[in-house]
Amino acid sequence: MNYNWNWGIFFDASPEGTGTYADMLLSGLIWTIVTALCAWVIAFAVGSVIGVLRTLPSRPAQAVGNAYVELFRNIPLLVQMFLWFFVLPELLPESWGTWLKQLPNAPFYTAVVCLGFFTASRVAEQVRAGIQALPRGQRMAGTALGLTTAQTYRYVLLPNAYRIILPPLTSEFLNNLKNTSVALTIGLLELTARARAMQEFSFQVFEAFTAATIIYIIINLLVVTAAGLIERRVAVPGR
């Protein structure tokens, strides 16, 4: 193969002057993790609300929930990224738009919001499925005990539903983590972007991408292991 391998490249200084190429990838990893975690907070909160809306007896609530999921699931994430980053500020009143565009770390905030709302539509699907998988008797028992709808959800339905959907939620979390790489198109300096930059500066394409690949695999293993532990911790004894 007509390619000059150089595995020592990771210890060479990067032209950004902030350390070696390894440091560059590490900083990318940190951005990836921070973005994924912040987006997950939004995704989990919004997704739970939308998921619950879709299981409420009220028709308008269901319609809102369904519309949200359809909207966010049927547009590619990359296009949504562009809508948030390039289109939204131009549609807002000028002063708001300017403020948004001049935020420091604008790509980061945009990526968090975009990914958060996108992943929320997927979390909502899981939450809905989890609630609907519970025996109908649970909801009835809640009502019979004199709990309000909100209390039924808070104390009966959601704690059970979350336990059921923990495995699919883990995989949504991993998707969310991988999807942070789409934000490189709006200038977020996450792991894939840093690997690409390393390739551009050093010309060592395959070393850079190999390193990124290994890092992604390690994070995946860690998340899967952690999810397994959580699953065992929160399992209802005797079920």
DSSP character at residue 8: G
Q: Which is nearer to other proteins, 22 or 83 (CB)?
A: 83
Which tokens sit at 71?
Answer: 């909207």
Of 169 and 212, CB closest to other proteins: 212
State the nearest-atom distance from the C-beta of 59 to other proteins, in Å.
19
In the complex, minimum distance from the CB of residue 51 to other proteins, in angstroms, rounded to a whole number: 18
Burial group, residue 144, by CB count within 10 angstroms (0-12, 13-18, 19+): exposed
Of 3 and 137, nearer to other proteins (C-beta) is 3
Are the C-beta atoms of 151 and 3 separated by less than 8 Å?
Answer: no
Instruction: Residue 151: count other Cβ atoms within 10 Å of its Cβ.
Output: 13
Residue with tokens 């959580």: 230
Question: Is the CB of 98 or the CB of 132 nearer to other proteins?
Answer: 98
> What DSSP string runs through 137-182?
HHHHHHHHTT--HHHIIIIIIHHHHHHHTHHHHHHHHHHHHHHGGG
Residues at the contact surface with other proteins, assessed by CB under 8 A: 1-4, 15-18, 70-71, 73-80, 82-83, 86-87, 89-91, 97-98, 101-102, 104-107, 174, 178-182, 184-185, 187, 189, 192-193, 195-197, 199-201, 203, 205-206, 209, 212-213, 216-217, 219-221
Of 99 and 155, which CB lies nearer to other proteins in the complex structure?
Answer: 99
Say which residue the tokens 């292991």 belong to. 225
Closest approach of Cβ 13 to other proteins, in Å? 10
Dihedrals phi, psi of 20, to nearest 5 degrees = -85, 175
Closest distance of CB 191 from other proteins, Å:
8
Q: How far is the CB of 55 from other proteins (least distance, A)?
A: 18
By C-beta, is 83 or 147 nearer to other proteins?
83
Question: Amino acid letter at 27?
Answer: S
Residues 6+ apart with CB under 8 A from 139: 152, 156, 157
Q: How far is the CB of 156 from other proteins (least distance, A)?
A: 30
